Amino acid sequence: MDILAQLITSFFATGAFGIIFNAPKESLLKCGLVGMGGWLVYYVLEKHMGDAVFATLSATIFIAVISQEMAKIYKTPVIIFSVAGVIPLVPGGLAYDAMRKFVENDYNHALGLAAKTLLLAGAIAFGLVFSEVINQIQRKISYRVSKK
Amino acid sequence: MNKMNDQASKTYEIMEVCLLAGKIMLQSGGETYRVEDTMMRIAAALGVEKSHSYVTPTGIIFSAEGDEPTKTKLIRISERSTDLKKVALVNSVSRQITSGDLNMKEALNRLQEIETMTLTFPLWVQTAAASLASGCFMIMFNGTWIDFIPSMISGGLGYLSFVKFHRFVPIKFFSEFLAAFIIGLLSLLLVQIGFGKELDKIIIGSVMTLVPGLLVTNAIRDLMAGHLIAGLSKGAEAFLTAFAIGAGIAVVLTFL
């Protein structure tokens, strides 16, 4: 039941972000589905392993790989699918908590939270780069095979 | 002599097409490497084999090498937003040029058309989307359904005020600060009158529509890909935005 609510809300949240970023109308549904898949990966991993960084990394790689495949099929830039999909993973909540601790002059907790936020942002970026590397290796291999 | 002039003006026209494509893409939130790649592909397809493009978030430098002396042009970018539809359109134009379906004149016309188009959804649709996203994010951050409507209200109004302020005073930092302040104030009010319950969750959900998630990711990605200047400046922009949002909320939190 809980996971169903998460799926529905993540679908609508990502689709709505597609509208804010003015993604083409026909791709809004796909944006929502990409975001939903990514959030499912994150949610399940985070719940069962308790490591947000690893969950974020896996979810980002999942989103980026799916987006790249979709971009190839529909001949549109990858960014259209990946940007909205990644948004739920952005550590906005943590950044807020860190900021709140700073305001309350609780610098010890605030610094820890800020470091965690940075790590999560790094995980997202690394996931995106990693999947791009996979994509390039794949392309090179298929190029070599077709040449032989 | 005449032939050489013809050649030179043709190169200039090719550069015009490349720069326009790059400009639209960069202003609409395309990634740095994609902008550079697109410009060089178009140039190669139109007959300039060797070209260099140097893209930063605030300007594009493009130079075309050939038999004649190398020509260089610079374009200044001052306004940036996210408009993925335009990125997709320019991308398809570049594909058509490389496949030979569009010649230079047609491509230039098409790009000029794209540049003047306003493709964004109407403001009320954007606001509705922002408020829906705020409500959904609140649930995704383990909020309760009681707070769904309050975060929709504050998130939607926050986004609307961000867009309105930005039109009024085109300084992004200021409009983000004010929008975050309004979100914080509204959430606090809604909790005070008993309509909402958890202040933190409502604020986090509503603020998500302003958060520079795209910028942070693009910045780190540019840095890793070796676009050091672009990465650093995007990072600075993301930091400023995050700081503006944080400051806006922080002002409200001090009222507590």
Reported as a single tens digit per residue, the pLDDT across A15-52 is 998 898 888 888 888 889 999 999 999 999 988 888 88
Pairwise CB contact (< 8 Å): B217 & A9: no
Question: Where do we find the tokens 């958060």?
Answer: B211
Between vectors from CA A17 to CA A13 and to CA A18, what angle results, nearest 5°? Answer: 120
Reported as a single tens digit per residue, the pLDDT across B155-180 is 999 999 998 988 888 788 889 999 99
Phi, psi of B170 (to 5 degrees): -80, 50
- Residue scoring higher pLDDT (B153 or B169): B153
- How far apart are alpha carbons A112 and A110 in whole angstroms? 5
- pLDDT at residue A92 in the model: 76
Kindly state the percentage of chain B with pLDDT values over 70: 98
Contacts of A49 (CB under 8 A, 6+ apart): A55
Between vectors from CA B201 to CA B196 and to CA B203, what angle results, nearest 5°? Answer: 85
Pairwise CB contact (< 8 Å): B253 & A95: no
Pairwise CB contact (< 8 Å): A21 & B249: no
Give the gap in angstroms from C-alpha A15 to the nearest C-alpha of chain B.
8
Reported as a single tens digit per residue, the pLDDT across B32-88 is 888 888 998 888 888 888 888 899 988 999 998 877 788 889 999 888 888 888 988
- How far apart are alpha carbons B36 and B41 in whole angstroms? 9
B63: burial class by Cβ within 10 Å (0-12, 13-18, 19+)? middle
Q: Does A107 touch chain B (CB under 8 A)?
A: no
Under a CB-based contact definition with an 8 Å cutoff, are residues A65 and A134 in contact?
A: yes
Q: Which residues of B touch A130 (CB under 8 A)?
A: none
Kindly state the percentage of chain A with pLDDT values over 70: 98
Q: Does B144 touch chain A (CB under 8 A)?
A: no
Question: Where do we find the tokens 């999909």?
Answer: A85
**Alpha-carbon dihedral of residues A43, A44, A46, A47, nearest 10 degrees?**
110
- pLDDT at residue B115 in the model: 87
- How far apart are alpha carbons A107 and B211 in whole angstroms? 22
Q: Which residues of B touch A21 (CB under 8 A)?
A: 29, 82-84, 214
Give the gap in angstroms from C-alpha B141 to the nearest C-alpha of chain A.
7
CA-nearest of B121, B102, B189, B195 to B159 is B121
- How far apart are alpha carbons B227 and B80 in whole angstroms? 18
Please state the pTM of the whole predicted model. 0.84
> Other CB atoms closer than 10 Å to residue B206's CB: what's the count?
34
Q: Does B117 touch chain A (CB under 8 A)?
A: no
